[in-house]
């Protein structure tokens, strides 16, 4: 468990968050996050009209637009990550509510529950506390996105303990 201290600002008392270590995350958590991002993109795609003929060449169908997720679209991702790693807080965040949303079966109800739980629980935080927590969570999102240390192959072609034998 890691305690993240939030320094006092403008006379408030400051606070803390307790989060699980980065090593807690597993490939299953990464799959959950990938599935959640796919569901968010599918939702946005479903709200768009279907692609029609290309205006410059009506014989060819226009390509589907690239679906990007904005900050408000990402609330369920924050809900998922907080539900996985946030163990406690001096700010009264309901970690059980976040964990219950994580435990739901995949689907629209889970996406909605994660987004709503995150949005409502985040409102309990002063901005400087949220910014402190968000900064601490950056490596966790990186890990879910496939970034971070990976096994290496030494230049001489021998195998290292972290690389598969060839």
Residue 159 is assigned to a structural domain of this protein: no
Q: What is the pLDDT of residues 65-92, one digit of tens each?
A: 888 888 888 999 999 999 999 999 999 9
Confidence of residue 166 (pLDDT cuts 50, 70, 90): very low
Q: Which domain holds residue 23?
A: 2-47+70-139
Domains held by the chain: number: 1
Residue 17: beta bridge partners?
A: 4, 89
Residue 17 is assigned to a structural domain of this protein: yes
Residue 154 is assigned to a structural domain of this protein: no
Q: By C-alpha distance, which of 2, 6, 20 is closest to 82?
A: 20
| pTM metric for this prediction | 0.80
Residue 135 is assigned to a structural domain of this protein: yes
**Calpha distance 31→18 (Å, rounded):** 24
Residue 165 is assigned to a structural domain of this protein: no
Q: What is the DSSP letter of 155?
A: T
Residue 161: pLDDT over 60: no
Residue 8 is assigned to a structural domain of this protein: yes
Residue 100 is assigned to a structural domain of this protein: yes
Residue 149 is assigned to a structural domain of this protein: no
Query: What's the Rg (C-alpha) of the chain?
Result: 20
């Amino acid at each position: 468990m890691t305690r993240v201290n939030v320094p006092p600002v403008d006379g408030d008392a400051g606070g803390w968050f307790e989060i699980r270590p980065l090593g807690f995350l597993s490939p299953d958590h990464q799959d959950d996050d990938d599935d959640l991002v796919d569901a968010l993109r599918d939702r946005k795609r479903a709200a768009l009209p279907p692609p029609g003929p290309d205006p410059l060449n009506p014989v060819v169908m226009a390509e589907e637009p690239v679906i990007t997720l904005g900050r408000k679209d990402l609330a369920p991702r924050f809900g998922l990550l907080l539900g996985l790693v946030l163990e406690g807080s001096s700010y009264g965040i309901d970690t059980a509510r976040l964990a219950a949303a994580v435990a739901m079966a995949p689907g629209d109800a889970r996406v909605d529950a994660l987004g709503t739980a995150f949005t409502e629980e985040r409102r309990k935080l002063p901005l400087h506390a949220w910014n402190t927590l968000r900064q601490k969570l950056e490596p966790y999102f990186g890990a879910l996105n496939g970034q971070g240390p990976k096994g290496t192959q030494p230049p001489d072609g021998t195998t290292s303990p972290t690389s598969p034998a060839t």
